[in-house]
Copies of this chain bind each other. A is one copy, B any other.
Amino acid sequence: MEQTAAAPPVTFETHPDEYKHWKLSFNGPIATLSMDVREDAGLRPDYRLKLNSYDLGVDIELADAIQRIRFEHPEVHAVVLNSLKERIFCAGANIFMLGSSSHGFKVNFCKFTNETRLAIEDASATSGIKFLASLNGICAGGGYELALACDEIFLVDDGNSAVSLPETPLLGVLPGTGGLTRVTDKRRVRRDLADFFCTVAEGVRGRRAVEWRFVDAVYPTSRFKDEVARRAKELAEQSDRPSNGPGILLGPLNPKVTDDTAIYGFVTLSIDRARRTAEITIKAPHDPQAGAPEEIVKAGDQFWPLRAFREFDDVLLRLRLNEPEIGTIVVRTAGDADAVLAVDKTLDTHRNHWAVREIIHFIKRTLKRMDLTSRSFFAHIEPGSAFAGTLFELALASDRAYMLDDPKRPNTVALSAMNGGSYPMSNGITRLQTRFLGEPAKVDQVLSAGEPFAARDALDAGLVFSAPDDLDWDDEVRLVIEERVALSPDALTGMEANLRFAGPETMETKIFGRLTAWQNWIFQRPNAVGEHGALKVYGREGRPEFDWRRC
């Protein structure tokens, strides 16, 4: 087993009033998100967060800030990311934290930070919020990867400040938070320039950084602040967001948490440690829901889809970081499917309203989080469930869906317009399109069915994997879970990472497939994490010792 510091349970909820590492300030259409990491406030006490280096706690606050800007501040049209430390923007992920973390923690830390950076790009692409990285000094590794997630990067030209990806030369690992992929595929840096850049610890600065496409502009210290302000204003002017509020305040979720359960308003997590399984149940709305945009804003974080998916998102993160041994998840829904379809109709009708748009894209990101969660998901569709429309995406996102076929007890699933394009996966196409890659005509067939599918019909339509009758149901679903939990967790992780993403690849899937998989490989290698590996030796006496064999 690994010799690493124990990770305490992580909580993912926070609020600007509680931030330790970021300051969020507002000036009309421009928000400024300033990094000012507290050295002594890491998630664990065995490292210090020097030079604006970060750990998961820092990134949880960043993710929260991005989310709140989107929901709580519709008047914000551009965000400046900067640092409050002199001549330091950010030194990247804390190396001592990485060096002392378990493999699984490193993997899940990188996954979450990747999702946060993709959330920045998602806000830019879909919410009308542009991001400008204002680099006042050292911007290394994960610091530059954060800048790469922004729309534009300005770097001070003071003869010293540089952007760099020193992971390979200093640490023997990759810039794994999208760095390599964004350099070649987003900024489209030429391969040989990227190769040079990624192998020199000092990076590039000044005019060369612009000419080689690593940053968009450099300015002398005297002009830097003004140019950032000028450009932020221009970026803000491109937005289609409202010019003022009210926004939707994101209150605390307040789950009731015990050792084996977490009970939220609409979502329940229940863990069976002996079997290494869990059940997640999402309930349909039980009260009438807002139907007009103004009512939705007024309902705020109590509007069912926002509330339910915020809770589901929290459950997914909880499982990933705090429950690594719980490998198999049964996904259930409960309640009135028609109520879900009614909400879907509202979302579809008002999708261009800023708040509805935010809710749809948040659901999209949460479903992507599920796709990227390395646990096996089995949807169980039984009488009384509500796998309709948006909630049917949970069945589509599961590795398999089982649906009880009992003529005596009605049990249906249903699609809505929201299944038709509102929730694309990381691969850029919908779960239905991905599912029916081999029979593309089926996508429109099932979307235009116009009525719910009983078990047999759902099976025939290819919407579920299996539809056992009431005699077989208990045995079949029990056996499937028993078989699944016996399989190698690593093989399942790799298998699911391949089978879930058929079809096209995007920059996003490249980051989670190619880049992350290679990084995870390197994170296991003695050359990185062995006694004399580069990640372990960094900051100590002596140099790493490598096994020189190339694989």
Interface, chain A (partner B; CB < 8 A): 1, 102-104, 107-108, 167-169, 171-174, 180-181, 183-185, 187-196, 198-200, 213, 276, 324-327, 374-375, 399-401, 434-439, 462, 464-465, 483-484, 487-505, 509-510, 513-515, 517-522, 524-525, 527-528, 534, 544, 546-551
Contacts and interface: CB of A to CB of B under 8 A. Distances in A.
Given A188-B437, A520-B551, 15 more contacts: A167-B491, A174-B494, A183-B499, A188-B439, A195-B400, A196-B465, A199-B483, A200-B483, A326-B550, A490-B528, A491-B522, A494-B521, A498-B515, A505-B510, A513-B517
Nearest to A546: B488
**Which of A169, A439, A525 has most chain B Cβ within 10 Å?**
A525
B492 A108 contact: no
Contacts of A550: 104, 324-327, 374-375, 489, 492-493
A326 B549 CA distance: 8
A549 B494 CA distance: 14
Contacts of A187: 438
A498 B514 CA distance: 7
A516 B1 CA distance: 25
Given A513-B513, A550-B327, A495 B188 contact: no
Contacts of A435: 190-192
A551 B495 CA distance: 13
A172 B494 CA distance: 10
Given A276-B548, A488-B527, A551-B520, A191 B502 contact: yes
A499 B198 contact: yes
B495 A168 contact: yes
Interface centre among A324, A437, A550 (most CB of B within 10 A): A550
Given A489-B527, A500-B191, A519 B546 contact: no
Contacts of A491: 167-168, 171-174, 522, 527-528, 534
A399 B191 CA distance: 7
8 contacts: A183-B499, A188-B437, A192-B399, A198-B495, A324-B549, A324-B551, A489-B546, A510-B513
A191 B524 CA distance: 29
Contacts of A375: 550
A388 to B, nearest CB: 19
Contacts of A181: 498
User: Which one of A324, A435, A527, A548 has the highest number of Cβ atoms from chain B below 10 Å of its Cβ?
Assistant: A548
A549 to B, nearest CB: 4
B199 A549 contact: no
A143 B525 CA distance: 30
A459 to B, nearest CB: 11
A534 to B, nearest CB: 6
B498 A438 contact: no
A500 B1 CA distance: 35
A490 B195 contact: no
A103 B551 contact: yes
A407 to B, nearest CB: 24
A548 B196 contact: no
A277 to B, nearest CB: 11
A188 B492 CA distance: 20
A489 B173 contact: no
A505 B503 CA distance: 10
B327 A196 contact: no
A551 B108 contact: yes
A525 B437 contact: no
- Which residue among A276, A326, A493 has the maximum number of chain B CB atoms within 10 Å of its CB? A493
Nearest to A494: B518
Across the A-B interface, the 3 shortest Cβ-Cβ residue pairs: A188-B438, A172-B488, A517-B517
B502 A518 contact: no
A276 B276 CA distance: 48
Contact of A438 (B168, B195, B213, B546): B213
A551 B499 contact: no
Contacts of A525: 490, 524
A317 to B, nearest CB: 14
A493 B551 contact: yes
A231 B497 CA distance: 36
Contacts of A524: 521, 524-525
A464 B491 CA distance: 42
Contacts of A1: 547
A99 to B, nearest CB: 14
B399 A490 contact: no
Contact of A488 (B107, B168, B184, B439): B168
A303 to B, nearest CB: 31
B499 A191 contact: yes
Given A107-B551, A169-B487, A513-B514, A522 B546 contact: no
A187 to B, nearest CB: 7
A353 to B, nearest CB: 33
B551 A104 contact: yes
Contacts of A438: 187-190, 213
A438 B490 CA distance: 37
Given A191-B435, A502-B191, A549 B492 contact: no
